[in-house]
């Protein structure tokens, strides 16, 4: 990002107030057994599985651990299955991790619905509700039998300690604390925060359930005891938030003044957060009757001179496409967040996928080129959102942010954001001399392709903004010569974007023969795979693009020069970035597409294995 000495302190305070959780300093533990622990839980809707995961995440982050939680649901509006996976580490967490170290199954039916999202290994400790019975043959069919399977009467323990089965997840938290050394003090604080205002009886019941779980674990030790190492001493505080929180905070920092949208999973939280906060900064939120009205209102607000935004998911992007074309030809700044989910149609509304890239790049008729940016985790969603507004304002264009369900709804404990690192860009307005020309040339054919933009009420700045092709003054035209000039203008102005080195992340030896390319939420898996491969002595490099469109041909060709073998990893059936690159670059034969449909996440060790296997193939 481009550095800047100034910042907006009031927005920085907002970020802290929205998503800040205190972290208490700790001393190094004297015994260290595990520095990384991946836990999964699954149950029925209403079991409180996700709530338990959030309590665990809060407890760990308050104790100084790096932590990340992903959650997954069935597509039912009410009821159905739910799960979460929590990764706790003494080091920075790059992704949700691979196979689980610990799995808690409250019933087998719901556990098996999550398939590859909750992968087991021979080293997994599988804890299950006693009354659910022993693991069925379906577990054997997966091909992996955990080394230790522990039956626990969770329901019975809950009823005895809390008087009902409503506090079963507090028993589970106690078991995890007792068996794996997760500090109980942090869990206690979490219970106090969650239930303290809901009546003394409820808090006391959950405290008793927690204590019961801890005591049960002490009285029934595991065959192979584990303990999570204590983190390094930590000062200050971390931000505990999800990607949608970060997007809303980034938009407010960037100066958004209008949000028009319609609720849709999994992007709705952005609108909900802005509804609570934007008015404090002179802005407004309009929840519209449908997706079309949402983007239409945002385009109108942009025409009126305000930084504007809308948010949706794949089905909503289908509906927004026509007005997206209007914003393109009228050269109006606009930010559109698409939190990708599995498709097509309603698809998998609660699961992550990276299958909307081709839609973002090519949806709409005519010759259009629109910037597409993609964050890779919760932390850089703030940065990418700010950059999206900057690009929209500087180049007077709609900009699409491609997040996805994992990033948007997973929670991470991250470092506080230094907002002084960011600069803000405002749209170029006409000078008095330019306004004095009669009539004002809104779409002047400048060398850069960017022409000054006015707004209603600006004296001398009146112009026609319509979906029909126009000349420099904005007058309608059907002439082929002027149409060609305007097309060239709209494409030419975006050329500088492709030279922005800060929109690409590269690691490793530039001359390495092995390479990994990944974007979006898959980038975190590729980052860890890159580190594992280097640790094993392999000469490998990594490229993570934040700018997906327009395609920066020079960046990719430079990466390809030394490449003998490589993988482009993405969570889509087609491998959409791979196909996009083949349109614009000479993709080497040795670069293979590694892709799969959503809800089937990659694992870091899997990427390393596949990458090393490629070395035996002809380049």
Q: How far is CA 459 from each of CA 155, 182, 426, 466, rounded to the nearest angstrom?
A: 72, 65, 19, 20
Domain boundaries, the chain: 28-219, 240-421, 428-499, 503-614
Residue 77 pLDDT class (50, 70, 90 cuts): low
What is the fold of 240-421?
Rossmann fold (3.40.50)
The average pLDDT across 132-161 equals 88
**Cis omega before residue 344 (within 30°)?**
yes
Q: The sheet that has 504-508: what strands, in order across it?
A: 504-508, 540-545, 514-518, 565-570, 591-595
What is the distance between the alpha carbons of residues 323 and 262, in angstroms, rounded to a whole number?
Answer: 15
Question: Are 249 and 15 a contacting pair, CB within 8 Å?
Answer: yes
Tokens read off for 577 = 């970035």
Task: Please report, to the nearest 10 degrees, the dihedral formed by the alpha carbons of residues 449, 359, 310, 349 taken in order.
Answer: -170
pLDDT at res. 15: 43
Q: What are φ and ψ of residue 229, in 5° steps?
A: -65, 150
What does the pLDDT read at residue 166? 84
**Would you say the CATH fold of 503-614 matches that of 28-219?**
no
Q: pLDDT value at position 190?
A: 82
pLDDT score, position 5:
37
Instruction: Enter the CATH code of domain 503-614.
Output: 3.40.50.920
The sign of the dihedral angle between the CA atoms of 349, 350, 351, 353 is: positive
d(CA 125, CA 100): 8
Residue given tokens 């992996």 in the structure block? 144
Buried b (16+ CB within 10 A) or exposed e, 50-60: bebbbbbbbbb
For the chain, what is the mean pLDDT? 90
Distance separating alpha carbons of residues 117 and 583, to the nearest angstrom: 33
Distance spanning both ends of the chain, measured CA to CA: 36
Phi and psi dihedrals of 395, rounded to 5? -105, 5
**Whether the Cβ atoms of residue 248 and residue 267 lie closer than 8 Å to each other:** no
Residue 406: which residues within 8 A CB-CB, separation 6 or more?
70, 96, 352, 521, 601
Burial of 333 (0-12, 13-18, 19+ CB in 10 A): buried
> pLDDT tens-digit profile of 195-229?
877 776 888 898 999 999 999 999 999 988 888 88
Q: Domain 28-219 falls in which CATH fold?
A: Pyruvate-ferredoxin Oxidoreductase; domain 3 (3.40.920)
Q: Which two tokens stand for residue 551?
A: 């395609």
Distance CA 216, CA 477 (A): 79
pLDDT for 23: 36
Question: Mean pLDDT across the stretch 583-605?
Answer: 95
């Amino acid at each position: 990002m481009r550095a800047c000495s100034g910042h907006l302190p009031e927005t920085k305070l907002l970020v802290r107030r929205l998503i800040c959780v205190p972290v208490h300093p700790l001393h190094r533990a004297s015994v260290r057994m595990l520095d990384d622990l991946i836990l999964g839980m699954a149950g029925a809707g209403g079991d409180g599985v996700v709530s338990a995961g959030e309590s665990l995440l809060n407890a760990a982050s308050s104790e100084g651990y790096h932590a990340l939680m992903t959650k997954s649901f069935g597509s039912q509006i009410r009821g159905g299955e739910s799960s979460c996976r929590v990764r706790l580490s003494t080091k920075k967490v790059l992704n949700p991790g691979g196979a689980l170290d610990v799995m808690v199954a409250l019933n087998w039916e719901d556990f098996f619905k999550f398939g590859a999202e909750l992968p087991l290994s021979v080293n997994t400790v599988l804890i299950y509700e006693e009354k659910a019975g022993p693991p069925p043959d379906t577990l054997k069919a997966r091909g992996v039998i955990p080394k230790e399977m522990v039956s626990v009467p969770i329901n019975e323990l809950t009823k005895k300690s809390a008087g009902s089965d409503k506090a079963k997840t507090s028993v589970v938290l106690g078991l995890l604390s007792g068996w794996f050394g997760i500090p109980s003090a942090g869990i206690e604080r979490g219970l106090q925060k969650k239930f303290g205002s809901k009546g003394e009886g409820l808090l006391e019941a959950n405290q008793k359930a927690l204590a019961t779980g801890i005591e049960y674990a002490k009285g029934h030790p595991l065959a192979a005891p584990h303990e999570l190492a204590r983190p390094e001493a930590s000062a200050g505080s971390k931000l505990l938030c999800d990607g949608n929180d970060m997007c809303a905070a980034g938009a407010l920092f960037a100066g958004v003044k209008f949000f028009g949208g319609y609720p849709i999973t999994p992007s709705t939280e952005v609108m909900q957060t802005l509804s609570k906060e934007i008015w404090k900064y002179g802005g407004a939120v309009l929840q519209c009757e449908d997706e079309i009205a949402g983007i239409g209102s945002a385009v109108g607000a942009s025409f009126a001179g305000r930084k504007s935004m809308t948010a949706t998911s794949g089905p909503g992007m289908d509906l927004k496409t026509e007005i997206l074309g209007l914003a393109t030809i009228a050269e109006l700044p606009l930010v559109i967040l698409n939190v990708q989910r599995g498709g097509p149609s309603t698809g998998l509304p609660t699961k992550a996928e990276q299958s909307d890239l081709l839609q973002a790049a090519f949806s709409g008729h005519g010759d259009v080129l629109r910037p597409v940016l993609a964050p890779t985790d919760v932390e850089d969603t703030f940065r990418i959102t700010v950059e999206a507004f900057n690009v929209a304002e500087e180049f007077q264009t709609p900009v699409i942010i491609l997040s996805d369900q994992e990033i948007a709804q997973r929670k991470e404990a991250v470092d506080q954001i230094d907002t002084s690192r960011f600069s803000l860009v405002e749209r170029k307005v006409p000078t008095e001399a330019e306004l004095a020309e009669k009539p004002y040339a809104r779409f002047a054919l400048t060398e850069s392709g960017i022409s000054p933009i006015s707004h209603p009420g600006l004296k001398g700045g009146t112009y026609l903004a319509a979906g029909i092709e126009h000349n420099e003054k904005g007058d309608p035209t059907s002439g082929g010569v002027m149409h060609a000039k305007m097309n060239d203008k709209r494409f030419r102005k975006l050329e500088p974007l492709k030279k922005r080195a800060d929109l690409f992340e590269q690691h490793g030896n530039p001359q390495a023969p092995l390479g990994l390319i990944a974007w979006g939420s898959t980038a975190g898996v590729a980052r860890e795979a890159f580190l594992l491969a280097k640790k094993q002595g392999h000469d490998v490099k990594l490229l993570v693009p934040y700018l997906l469109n327009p395609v920066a041909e020079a960046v990719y060709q430079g990466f390809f020069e030394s490449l003998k073998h490589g993988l482009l990893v993405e969570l889509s059936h087609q491998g959409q970035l791979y196909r996009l690159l083949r349109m614009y670059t000479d993709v080497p034969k040795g670069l293979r597409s590694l892709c799969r449909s959503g809800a089937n996440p990659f694992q870091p060790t899997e990427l390393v294995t596949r990458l090393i296997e490629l070395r035996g193939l002809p380049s």
